[in-house]
Amino acid sequence: MTEFRPSRFEILPTVVKNLLIINGLIFLAQKTFGGPTSDFSIEDIFALHAWQSSLFQPWQLVTHMFLHGGLSHIFFNMLALWMFGAVLENVWGSKRFLVFYLICGLGAALMHLLFLSYEMIPLMREYAAIVQEQALRNGSQNNAVVDFLINHRKDFQNTEEMIRYLQANPGETASTARAIETISSYYQQNLNTATLGASGAVFGILAAFGYLFPNTYIYLYMLIPVKAKWFVLFYGAVELYEGVKNSAGDNVAHWAHIGGAVVGLLIVITWNKSNKKTLY
CATH code for residues 14-33+40-117+197-278 = 1.20.1540.10
DSSP letter at 52 equals: T
**Would you list the domain boundaries of the chain?**
14-33+40-117+197-278, 119-191
What pLDDT does residue 265 have? 94
Rounded Cα distance between 180 and 183, Å, is: 5
Q: Report how far Cα 274 is from the mean position of its chain's Cα atoms.
A: 31
pTM: 0.83
| Long-range contacts (CB closer than 8 Å, 24 or more residues apart) made by 169-172 | 170/139, 170/142, 170/143, 171/139, 171/142
What pLDDT does residue 39 have? 67
What pLDDT does residue 97 have? 97
Rounded Cα distance between 222 and 229, Å, is: 18
Binned average pLDDT, 10 residues per bin, the chain of 280 residues: 57 94 95 70 91 93 94 93 94 95 96 88 84 64 80 77 78 78 86 91 94 85 78 82 65 84 94 60
What pLDDT does residue 279 have? 40
The pLDDT mean for the chain works out to: 84
Closest CA to 29 of 15, 41, 17, 19: 41
> Which helix (H) or strand (E) segment is 214 a member of?
none
